[in-house]
Structure 1
Amino acid sequence: MPHDDDVTVEPVKGLPEDLPPGEVILWQGRPSVWPLLREALSLNWVLGYFALLIVWRVGVSTTTLPLGQALLTGLPFLILAGVVTAILYLIALAQARATVYTITSERIAMRIGAALTITLNLPFPKIAAADLSLSRNGTGTIALRTMGQARLSYMILWPHVRPWHLKETQPALRCIPDAAKVAAILAEAAETRVSRPTLERVAIAHPGAVAAE
């Protein structure tokens, strides 16, 4: 899935160096902006918070003002909600545009970071399992459980991590379109790479849920 709007000096888009002989790219993609905004930046919770503030402010004002004037007292909170939403959208947009997820015949690579760009390489033999969380529209997140003693920073990888798994950080391909198709590509590539399946499973959770451990 090439992205022609990428401007990069990388030898291969999304990768810090040329592919070794015999390694091929099977899939590339990036997060969808609005799902990333809702899931990683908690847009719905933010809007819910402002909605409660508006209801509270208008409700209090109706005790001393006519309803029409009371409604106007909620306007500053409505404007502030719009400003915060715009800021969060720009953050999600910057994160999405800076990200390239790559599945090759040998590994998963994640070029991430809007301010400080890093590339995380995860060879298939180092991946213990992949869990798919799928939404009704087909967008989903594939969380990766790694093997070995490697310590990954939740803060450095955020938002490209499985939410709330702070002790054992799980890198994740967040909010990608056609996630079930991508999971199938990943599972097939991993099984082809090694004599036994590297991934214990690619579990499809109920919409909005995270696959059970």
Structure 2
Amino acid sequence: MIESAGLSRAQLRRLLRQRRRALSISQQRQAARRLYRQLAQHPLFRRSRHIALYLPNDGEIDPQLLLREAQRRGKTTYLPVLNAWPATRMVFQRIRPGERLTLNRFRIREPRPNHARQRKVWALSLLLMPLVGFDPHGGRLGMGGGFYDRSLAYRARRKNCQKPTLLGLAHECQKVDRLELASWDVPLQATVTDRAWYGEEDRRTTAPHSLRCQSKR
């Protein structure tokens, strides 16, 4: 675990990105299998019907085993899609097995934008989020673009709407003792690594969240 005292967010990002990039292909594959075992049989994953994930980039832990498992079980799965305009906006779009993907401006694979297949973030059941660093208290350090924080900013305004459940996914080596959160940072319910769970949504419980978020889709 990294001691964050005296390190800026930029310094932490640089250090933690170096750590996950340093993992070998074999270590990455092993971490992906362990992550799958941590989540695939958890009641939270089993009960969720609309699950958004991501495709790994820059050494991020790989959730594609979970993506395929969710699709095998008949769940509806989504990937983030960056808007061309406004450029700071991100949406979540349904993805089907074998669907062809394209590269966005960050060279990350995503579906071709199709508004009819997009779902409001508050209508998702579970959002599995990438991160650069995390602490055991729900803190998340992202890449700095703010895409997820902007997408989830409604949670600060709509206290009765805490969907979807937010789980960060990470390698154990990305753990920090404590992160200083900015006013716009959205805390996680838990972070799941290849080794353990950290946070209120631990491996034994599935604390219910409000279902009063309204959506027509």
Q: Taking structure 2 as the reference length, what is the TM-score of the superposition? A: 0.24
Q: Could you say which structure has the larger radius of gyration?
A: 1
Which has more helix, going by share of residues? Answer: 1
